């Protein structure tokens, strides 16, 4: 069954400059879909559109975002409040700032469960302990009493991941969840997200600029640039034979331990120019 | 946890010294009945303008009343005004500041313009007019302070709320499906609380001064209740014969306000997460 079906989504700034151009992608139940691209490609814009938290200056101009068959475009705040945290959750990018500095971990973890699952304070606390065990935090009782600044970056990200799985959502948006962590921790966190995702059967839209991450956790992927999806398909297929020149260039620009640094090449200007021309052609065909 | 926090706070000399000074005044005011050596209203016309002596430690005023006792009883009025007016001002200003900063749009517009207009009035003149309209008395003094000084809180709290509103954890709460009211109370309020405490302490100092000004011009309490402002006014008339009569209440005023400001400054340094 399809969990998320984004069809022909376009968005533009108030001035008319397009930021998303006809983005379509489908995520099935329990599927992990990687959304790859350089910064400014529009990946996060897609994620924010699904969550209904687009910046005030950006407006959707066309398309639909169907979550379990229901279109989220134009859904009001109340509708979103019922959905977010319960059916759709977010693993944020920066674990340092996504936790409230002046509240204990317990309060921040139980908020969502008490709100959406109607749990008592005690039941929510018990569930928080189970979740912390699941994200392999050693002394969960102690962690619940801590403030965010008393935890390391990796611990904080584990807490945030535990919160995102708290209400057994159907879909999780992971917005570069490992970018702010150091490399050794990244690996653990990725393995953990993958494990949780399998056990809970959650679909994940995994936003990242790191192809290595996509290879490790995603089943399917979309490559974006200039707000357009350039290539889409199974990760194994695309890795074996990238169809778009941009994807090939992206692979060439990814650092790998088995290649010397000199082998890294930036994306060729000609490829970028082609994409820009395609974007312009698209804009010309659809006046804003 | 809390105890460790108290120790850390007291290690700051401003907090320790300011807190000590304020504590001395609070104890004196609470125990005014025990500490004052004489009745602050009892006149002894044979002993006018007496210099400090064993019988009257700080001397007597022009009606032969014991100055030390009057100072101690005056502290009651000063601290009562500081506490009540300070807290009411803080609550009103903070509520409006939070609303403006969090809601944005027309509520922000309305509140911010009101602050601008308020701030363009000279505060002392405004308070004198207000008390003249409301009639003299402690409640009028408190109302005057609240009506004039709420802008101080509203302005600062609005700016802080605006800053906090754009933090990632607020986004995270929105994405968790929390209602705006819950986000304001549970996510934002705890983060503006340190600033609230600091401003409240400073506001108390200001309230003490305003009360003294109003009682100096005879617009506070009736003259049978000892106030520092009233004592300064009386002392002014005999400044050449007995300068200590005006100097002592001024010193008390100075010490209390200085104590409150020190405490506020110290708390600001200790509670500000950036400076910490």
Identify whether the C-beta of residue A23 lies closer than 8 Å to the C-beta of residue A46: yes
Percent of chain B with pLDDT over 70: 96
Helices then strands (H, E): number in chain B? 12, 0
Are B175 and A112 within 8 A, CB to CB?
A: no
CA torsion angle for A44, A45, A47, A52 (degrees, to 10)? 140
Are B190 and A86 within 8 A, CB to CB?
A: no
Of the listed ranges A269-273, B41-45, B110-114, B251-255, the least confidently predicted one is B41-45
Give the pLDDT of residue B222: 72
Cα B32 to Cα B80: distance, rounded to the nearest angstrom:
13
Q: What's the predicted TM-score (pTM) here?
A: 0.80
In the structure encoding, which two tokens stand for residue B66, read together?
């014991």
- Here the contacts of B86-91 (C-beta below 8 Å, separation 24 or greater) are B86/B200, B86/B203, B86/B204, B86/B207, B87/B200, B88/B142, B88/B146, B89/B145, B89/B146, B89/B149, B89/B150, B89/B152, B89/B153, B89/B203, B89/B207, B90/B153, B90/B196, B90/B199, B90/B200, B90/B203
Give the pLDDT of residue A96: 83
Q: What is the DSSP string of A21-56?
A: EEEEEEEETT-EEEEE--TTSSHHHHHHHHHT---T
Give the pLDDT of residue B33: 81
**Low-confidence residues in chain A, pLDDT < 70:** 256-257, 259-263, 286-288
Per-residue pLDDT tens for B49-69? 777 887 778 888 878 788 898
Are B179 and A85 within 8 A, CB to CB?
A: no
Cα A110 to Cα A136: distance, rounded to the nearest angstrom:
18
State CA A121 to chain mean position distance.
30
Beta bridge partners of A222: A35, A232
DSSP 3-state of A4: strand
Give the pLDDT of residue A287: 47
Residue given tokens 């050449």 in the structure block? B240
Chain A contact for B224 (CB, 8 A cutoff): no
DSSP run (H or E) holding B237: helix B228-237
Report the DSSP pairing between strands A70-71 and A58-67: antiparallel
Per-residue pLDDT tens for B253-276? 999 999 999 998 888 888 765 444
Shortest Cα distance from B86 to chain A (angstroms)? 25
- Report the candidate in B95, B211, B77, B202 with the shortest Cα–Cα distance to residue B143: B211
Identify whether the C-beta of residue B85 lies closer than 8 Å to the C-beta of residue B146: yes
> Which residues in A lie closer than 8 A to residue B186 (C-beta atoms)?
103, 107, 111
Give the pLDDT of residue A151: 92
Give the pLDDT of residue A237: 94
At residue B22 the predicted structure's pLDDT band, cuts being 50, 70 and 90, is very high
Chain A contact for B174 (CB, 8 A cutoff): yes
Name which of B1, B177, B179, B180 to mutate to probe chain A: the one with the most chain A Cβ atoms within 10 A of its Cβ: B177
Report the DSSP pairing between strands A220-225 and A88-91: unpaired
> Which residues in A lie closer than 8 A to residue B178 (C-beta atoms)?
81, 85, 111-112, 115
Answer whether residue B115 shows pLDDT above 80.
Answer: yes
Give the pLDDT of residue A48: 93
Q: Which CATH superfamily is domain A2-87+167-285 in?
A: P-loop containing nucleotide triphosphate hydrolases (3.40.50.300)
Beta bridge partners of A230: none
Its domain, for residue B256, covers: 2-39+57-271
CA distances from A216 to A182, B53, B76 (A): 17, 89, 71
Are B171 and A80 within 8 A, CB to CB?
A: no
Give the pLDDT of residue B276: 46
Which of A82, A98, A102 lies closest to B172 in CB terms?
A: A98
User: A7's torsion region: left (phi>0), alpha (psi -120 to 50) or beta?
Assistant: beta
- Total domains present in chain B: 1
Which CATH number covers residue B32?
Answer: 1.10.3720.10
In the structure encoding, which two tokens stand for residue B52, read together?
């400090």
In the structure encoding, which two tokens stand for residue B70, read together?
């009057």
Identify whether the C-beta of residue B208 lies closer than 8 Å to the C-beta of residue B260: yes
Q: DSSP secondary-structure letter at A257?
A: T
Are B169 and A94 within 8 A, CB to CB?
A: no
At residue B4 the predicted structure's pLDDT band, cuts being 50, 70 and 90, is low
Domain-embedded: residue B266:
yes
Give the pLDDT of residue A286: 57
Identify the closest residue of chain A to B187 by CA–CA distance: A100
Answer whether residue B204 shows pLDDT above 90.
Answer: yes
Per-residue pLDDT tens for B68-99? 989 999 999 999 999 999 999 999 999 999 99
Phi and psi at residue A256, to the nearest 5°: -135, 145
Domain-embedded: residue B276:
no
Domain-embedded: residue B49:
no
Percent of chain A with pLDDT over 90: 63
> Which residues in B lie closer than 8 A to residue A103 (C-beta atoms)?
186-187, 190
Chain A contact for B185 (CB, 8 A cutoff): no
Cα B141 to Cα A104: distance, rounded to the nearest angstrom:
41
Chain A contact for B117 (CB, 8 A cutoff): no
Task: Provide the b/e sequence for B120-156 (b: ≥16 CB within 10 Å).
Answer: eeebeeebbebbeeeebebebbbbbbbbbbbbbbbbb
How many CB atoms are closer than 10 A to CB B184?
21
In the structure encoding, which two tokens stand for residue B120, read together?
């363009």
Cα B197 to Cα B213: distance, rounded to the nearest angstrom:
25
DSSP run (H or E) holding B109: helix B105-119
At residue B3 the predicted structure's pLDDT band, cuts being 50, 70 and 90, is low
């Amino acid at each position: 069954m399809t969990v998320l079906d984004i069809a022909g989504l376009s968005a533009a700034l108030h001035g008319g400059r397009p930021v998303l151009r006809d983005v379509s992608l489908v995520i099935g139940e329990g599927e992990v879909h990687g959304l790859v691209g350089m910064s400014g490609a529009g990946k996060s814009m897609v994620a924010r559109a699904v969550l209904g938290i687009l910046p005030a200056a950006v407006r959707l101009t066309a398309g639909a975002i169907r979550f379990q068959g229901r279109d989220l475009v134009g859904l009001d705040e109340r509708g979103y409040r019922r959905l977010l945290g319960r059916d759709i959750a977010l693993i944020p990018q920066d674990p340092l700032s996504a936790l409230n500095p002046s509240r204990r971990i317990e309060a921040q973890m139980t908020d969502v469960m008490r709100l959406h699952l109607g749990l008592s304070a005690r039941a929510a606390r018990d569930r928080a302990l189970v979740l912390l065990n699941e994200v392999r935090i050693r002394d969960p009782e102690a962690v619940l009493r801590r403030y965010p600044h008393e935890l390391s970056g990796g611990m904080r990200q584990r807490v945030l991941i535990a919160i995102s799985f708290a209400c057994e959502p159907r879909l999780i948006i992971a917005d570069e969840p490992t970018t702010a962590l150091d490399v050794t921790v990244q690996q653990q966190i990725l393995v953990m997200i993958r494990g949780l995702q399998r056990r809970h059967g959650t679909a994940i839209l995994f936003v990242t600029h790191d192809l290595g991450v996509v290879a490790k956790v995603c089943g399917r992927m979309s490559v974006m640039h200039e707000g357009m999806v350039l290539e889409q398909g199974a990760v194994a297929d695309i890795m074996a034979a990238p169809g778009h020149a941009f994807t090939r260039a992206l692979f060439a620009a990814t650092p790998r331990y088995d290649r010397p640094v000199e082998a890294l090449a930036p994306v060729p200007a000609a490829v970028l120019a082609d994409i820009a021309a395609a974007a312009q052609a698209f804009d010309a065909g659809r006046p804003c | 946890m809390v105890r460790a926090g108290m120790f850390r706070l007291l290690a700051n000399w401003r907090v320790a010294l300011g807190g000590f000074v304020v504590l001395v005044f609070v104890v004196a005011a609470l125990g005014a009945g025990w500490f004052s050596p004489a009745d602050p209203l009892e006149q002894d016309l044979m002993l006018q303008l007496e210099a400090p002596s064993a019988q009257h430690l700080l001397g007597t005023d022009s009606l032969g009343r014991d100055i030390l006792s009057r100072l101690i009883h005056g502290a009651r009025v000063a601290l009562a005004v500081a506490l009540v007016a300070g807290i009411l001002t803080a609550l009103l200003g903070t509520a409006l500041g939070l609303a403006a900063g969090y809601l944005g749009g027309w509520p922000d517009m309305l509140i911010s313009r009101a602050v601008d207009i308020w701030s363009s009035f000279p505060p002392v003149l405004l308070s004198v007019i207000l008390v003249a309209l409301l009639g003299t008395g402690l409640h009028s003094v408190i109302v005057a302070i609240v009506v004039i000084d709420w802008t101080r809180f509203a302005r600062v709290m609005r700016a802080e709320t605006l800053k906090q509103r754009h933090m990632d954890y607020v986004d995270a709460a929105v994405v968790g499906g929390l209602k705006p009211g819950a986000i304001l109370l549970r996510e934002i309020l705890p983060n503006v609380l340190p600033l609230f405490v600091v401003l409240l302490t400073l506001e108390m100092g200001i309230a003490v001064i305003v009360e003294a000004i109003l009682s100096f011009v005879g617009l506070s309490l009736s003259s049978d209740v000892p106030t520092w402002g009233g004592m300064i006014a009386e002392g002014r008339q005999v400044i050449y014969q007995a300068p200590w009569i005006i100097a002592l209440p001024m010193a008390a005023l100075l010490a209390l306000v200085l104590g409150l400001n020190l405490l506020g400054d110290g708390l600001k340094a200790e509670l500000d997460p950036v400076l910490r």
